[in-house]
Amino acid sequence: MDYPAYIAQTRDQSRALAKTIPDAMKGFGTLTRAVKDSGTLGLKEKEFVALGIAIAVRCEACIAFHVEALMKAGATREELGDVLAMCIQMGGGPAVMYAGKALDCWDQLTAAKG
């Protein structure tokens, strides 16, 4: 999968959804900002939790967005690997498959940044 293109396509779909159901999407955006901007955990830790959930529920678009957010939050590939190992331990075989997708996404986004 071409993750940079997939992220762009998914963003376009989200924009179309926001035009169709603006109040619901504004509400979701407000919730997202409130969760990320408050509490005792830092943004990076919260994004690692979100990635773990994305892998557990097998949401490929969520994986892509949270990997991208982790990169912006200063996460390292080594930290990602540690979290992916925990996801595999908790999720077994299916988590192995989706953890591989998260790692592939990281590597593609790194390469796309040049």
101 within 8 A of 1, measured Cβ to Cβ = yes
Reported as a single tens digit per residue, the pLDDT across 79-111 is 999 999 999 999 998 899 999 999 999 999 999
Which tokens hold the place of 5? 């293109």
SS3 per-residue string spanning the chain: CCHHHHHHHHHHHHHHHHHHCHHHHHHHHHHHHHHHHCCCCCHHHHHHHHHHHHHHHCCHHHHHHHHHHHHHCCCCHHHHHHHHHHHHHHHHHHHHHHHHHHHHHHHHHHHHHC
User: In the chain, what percentage of residues exceed pLDDT 70?
Assistant: 100
Q: CA 73 to CA 17: how far, in whole Å?
A: 26
Q: What is the pTM of this model?
A: 0.86
Question: What pLDDT shows up at residue 114?
Answer: 82
Is the pLDDT assigned to residue 36 strictly greater than 90? yes
98 within 8 A of 63, measured Cβ to Cβ = yes
CA torsion 33-86-10-15 (nearest 10°) is: -10
Reported as a single tens digit per residue, the pLDDT across 40-78 is 999 999 999 999 999 999 999 999 999 999 999 999 999
Domains, the chain, in order of start with CATH, read 3-113 (1.20.1290.10)
Main-chain dihedrals φ then ψ at residue 41, nearest 5 degrees: -80, 150
